């Protein structure tokens, strides 16, 4: 995901056409949604007790991307780059805090998050 953010940042800074920027934002959103869906399937399968709260955290990530999209469509480079920085920090914080809770729970339960059983 961070690669998509970097690519989008570069496209905005280089003032690539809006269609290119929107495509890169779409790629970021697809990657984020795929990652979140995979996590949600794993949490459901493994019986993660805070699944609903984590799903709500995913919804917050989607709202952050939608806010970025509105700003991007406005065409203001400085505001878009600032919001993209916020998106990066939000995703990083989600990984370090929310996803870490899942990993810790898996460790305590002695469940490998990569195994189907």
pLDDT of residue 114: 62
First to last CA, the chain: 27
Q: Are 28 and 62 in contact (CB under 8 A)?
A: no
pLDDT tens per residue across all 117 residues of the chain: 999 999 999 999 999 999 999 999 999 999 999 999 999 999 999 999 999 999 999 999 999 999 999 999 999 999 999 999 999 999 999 999 999 999 999 999 988 766 554
CATH number assigned to the domain with residue range 2-109, chosen from the 4 options 1.10.40, 2.60.40, 1.10.3470, 1.20.120: 1.20.120
pLDDT of residue 113: 62
Among 89, 103, 86, which Cα is nearest to 39's?
Answer: 103
pLDDT of residue 111: 84
């Amino acid at each position: 995901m961070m690669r998509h953010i970097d690519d989008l940042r570069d496209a905005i800074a280089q003032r690539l056409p809006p269609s290119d920027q929107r495509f890169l934002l779409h790629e970021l959103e697809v990657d984020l949604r795929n990652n979140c869906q995979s996590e949600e399937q794993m949490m459901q399968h493994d019986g993660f007790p805070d699944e609903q709260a984590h799903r709500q955290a995913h919804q917050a990530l989607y709202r952050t991307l939608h806010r970025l999209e509105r700003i991007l469509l406005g065409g203001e480079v400085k505001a878009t780059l600032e919001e993209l920085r916020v998106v990066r920090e939000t995703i990083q914080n989600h990984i370090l805090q929310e996803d870490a809770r899942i990993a810790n729970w898996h460790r305590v339960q002695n469940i490998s998050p990569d195994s189907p059983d």
